[in-house]
Chain A
Amino acid sequence: MSAASTTVDTARGRPAEAVIGWIRRNAWTLGLIAFFFVLLGFTRVIQPTYGVTGIQGLAISVLPLALAAVAQAVVVIAGGIDLSLGSMMALTSVVAASQMMGKTEEFGVVVVIGVLLLGLLLGAINGSLVVLTRVPDIVVTLAMAYVWAGCALLVLRTPGGGSAKWLRDLVLGSFGNEWIPKAAVVLIVIVAVIWLPIRRSRLGLSLFAIGSNQLAAFRSFVSVGRTKVVAYMLGGLFAALAGLSLTASTGIGTPVPGPYTLLSVAAVVLGGVSLAGGRGGLVGPIVAVMILSLIRTDMTFLNLNTNLATVAQGVILIAVVMFGTLIQLRRERA
């Protein structure tokens, strides 16, 4: 799922070169995945009992942040940034929890669909404001973070509400083999169903185009404003899914935004998506979220102060980005 699928044509007919090219284009993501498995092995060494339950816990705890990272990634790829993600998650989560409380299972389906539409609407408002007011994305979404957080408090003043049982069952437990947590399957299905068709379509190309060069995109008959609004709508949709996953995994809705906004930015950057836009994919950020979460787990196993995990996350974030910049600088010089 890398940025450049346009260069595939040149390597067609020579499978070896095509494979090498694919590996080179996805080097960052593949490296992250390799690092994740090394880290899993390390976890197993320091804590031999880490097994099925550990993986299950990891998948469930990672799900909201992974979806938030996906939401952020889509917006960042299109050249924006959405600092209201955490608040949108809180709002969608409390709407879901308050509406599903004490209702039938069937009504839960209606609520879920409604919440997803709400996510699209929130994203559309964010995107329209960015496009219409021409105020920088950071400022608009920062201000909208207050608005959505306030709305969340209006819906539910204290943590509460409930979740339909089928929604909870959707993320808890395992799927077939006990080593495959349901939460991981849900994540993969959601991302595949929503993102893959878009990525393959004209819209996907437009998203990358407006992210990498707005003027060039405009001159290539891409409707920049409309595409940007769509990017924010997709961000809102994934944020709503993240909010639903919060409700599903905790069983309630919490009106106070969690630390998801800034962590999603960190995950996106670690996942190889350029903050300048136009480059990156969705797999990298998801793997980055899992790595960050696993590091925190390992710190606990090593009996280290968990606050050092926060330090480690910061150091890793800075170090990885520095490393990436250095590679880029050397490549430019060469």
Chain B
Amino acid sequence: MSAAESTPARNPYLTAAGWRLLFRDRPMIPLLVLLGVLVVASEVARPGIVSVGWAGTILRAAVPLAILAGCQTIAMLTGGIDLSVGAVASMSGFLLATLVGGQGLLGGIVIAIVIAALAGLVTGVGVGVFRVHPLIMTLGMSLVVLGLANVWQIVMVQTGGGVPPSLRQLGTGTLFGFIPYTFAVFLPLAALILLGLRRTGYGRMLYAIGDNPVAARLAGARAWQVLIVLYVISAILAAIAGFLISGLTNVASVTLADSYVLPSVAAAVIGGTSIMGGRGGYGGTIVGALILTVISALLTSLGYPEAVRQVLYGAIIVIVAAAYTRVTGET
């Protein structure tokens, strides 16, 4: 409950313990410092690389990751995790690409989102009503969604249409060279999640259930309803991310977004959301997604082979998570 605990008094922040308190209450500060350091490191490693165009590329790549990490953030706040985001996102992108020929862009988007929401509903019922462990429920759900998407792929062998041009433009285009068009989708979503988590009763309920499920139940929260709505929201977010990814890469395949699943969890963790539930927020997650994207771009620009990049990427995630745990003194 970081937002509730952050006190207006700032004078005790001048001691060493105070610094720790500052970091715990305002996790954005160390994260933004890290992001700045990484940007400077990129410039040092390859002088001249940091430009308006570079920023555009980073932002464009970070948007889908930030949305998927948003799914993880809200799920992790309740002590859950959503491993089905990859399958749901890929399925939605693929579905849209096959439907756009027959149903039109809007029809395709609506159908894809409805089907994604159905998948989320099933997940939510499993987690909320039947109390299946979220890890297992979303893992099983991703197998189901992947299998069904594959069956659909065989039914629709001709894959009518492909990625719609308007989506491609949305995914790749930028305004003034660095503001990606996807911001038109991302900014409202981000505002909705940020405000929803801080200002609405539903958002506080997510924190309450993750922090202390028994207390939340005694206080009258109906956890199962909250969880069902949570996983439906998560699936819809994943579907939107799926559209953006297929627009960004100009590919529609049933495994398109699989590579985003682990980074989305990592982005939420680096952003200070506890996987145990009850602590964190979406602001940190967005910075976490940016950090991961910059790291990945930095490693690419250094010209390391794929193997070294993977090793460093993993090592950096461990180090950041460990440093974060050390600094905030919490697990």
Binding site for B on A (CB under 8 A): 81, 129, 132-136, 138-140, 142-154, 157, 262, 265-266, 269, 275, 305, 307-315, 317-318, 321-322, 325-326, 329
Contacts and interface: CB of A to CB of B under 8 A. Distances in A.
A322 B266 contact: no
Given A140-B321, A265-B135, 10 more contacts: A133-B322, A135-B321, A138-B275, A139-B269, A143-B321, A150-B313, A262-B139, A318-B132, A318-B144, A325-B130
B314 A150 contact: yes
B147 interface: yes
16 contacts: A129-B318, A133-B326, A135-B321, A139-B269, A147-B315, A148-B314, A152-B307, A153-B305, A154-B311, A275-B135, A307-B148, A311-B147, A311-B151, A314-B142, A314-B143, A321-B132
Interface string B149-165: 01100100000000000
A135 B130 contact: no
Which residue, of B135, B140, B309, has the highest number of chain A Cβ atoms within 10 A? B140
Contacts of A269: 133, 136
B69 to A, nearest CB: 13
Chain B binding surface, main DSSP class: helix
Given A134-B331, A138-B81, A329-B131, A311 B139 contact: no
A300 to B, nearest CB: 14
Nearest to A268: B136
Contacts of B130: 322, 325-326
Contacts of B28: none
A275 B132 CA distance: 11
B277 to A, nearest CB: 11
Nearest to B323: A133
B103 to A, nearest CB: 23
B45 interface: no
Nearest to A309: B147
B131 A145 contact: no
Given A150-B308, A307-B154, A133 B321 contact: yes
Given A150-B310, A307-B151, A139 B275 contact: yes
B307 A153 contact: yes
A154 B308 contact: yes
Contacts of A266: 136, 139-140, 143
Interface string B214-249: 000000000000000000000000000000000000
Given A136-B331, A151-B311, A142 B265 contact: yes
Contacts of B137: 318, 321
A266 B142 CA distance: 12
A310 B146 contact: yes
A146 B276 contact: no
Closest 4 CB pairs of A and B: A146-B314, A314-B143, A150-B310, A310-B147
B308 A136 contact: no
Contact of A143 (B131, B141, B315): B315
Q: Would you call the interface of chain A mostly helix, strand, loop, or mixed?
A: helix
B5 interface: no
Interface residues on chain B, size class:
35 or more
Contact of B310 (A139, A147, A265, A312): A147
B139 A135 contact: no
Contact of A135 (B147, B307, B325): B325
B151 A305 contact: yes
Contacts of B145: 314
Contact of B314 (A145, A152, A325): A145
B98 to A, nearest CB: 15
Contact of B136 (A143, A144, A318): A318
Contacts of A134: 322, 325, 331
Given A269-B136, A275-B136, A305-B154, A151 B144 contact: no
Contacts of A312: 147
Interface in B8-54: none
Nearest to A147: B314
A52 to B, nearest CB: 30
Contacts of A317: 136, 139-140, 143
A150 B262 CA distance: 15
A322 B144 contact: no
Interface in B316-331: 317-318, 321-322, 325-326, 331
B126 interface: yes
Nearest to A152: B307
Given A133-B318, A139-B265, A313 B143 contact: yes
Given A143-B314, A150-B311, A321 B136 contact: yes
Interface in B275-331: 275-276, 305-315, 317-318, 321-322, 325-326, 331
Nearest to A274: B133
A39 to B, nearest CB: 19
A28 B320 CA distance: 41
A146 B132 contact: no
Given A146-B311, A314-B143, A317-B136, A135 B81 contact: no
Contact of B132 (A129, A147, A308, A325): A325
B154 A311 contact: no
A145 B266 contact: no
A137 to B, nearest CB: 9
Which has the most chain B C-beta neighbours within 10 Å: A142, A151, A265, A269? A142
Contacts of A148: 314
A132 B133 CA distance: 27
A144 B310 CA distance: 10
Nearest to A84: B314
B306 A153 contact: yes
A275 B143 contact: no
Contacts of A81: 135
B95 to A, nearest CB: 15
Between B142, B147, B276, B317, the greatest number of chain A beta carbons within 10 A of the residue's beta carbon is seen for B147
A144 B318 contact: yes
Contact of B144 (A135, A145, A147, A311): A311
Contacts of B150: 305, 307, 310
Nearest to A316: B140
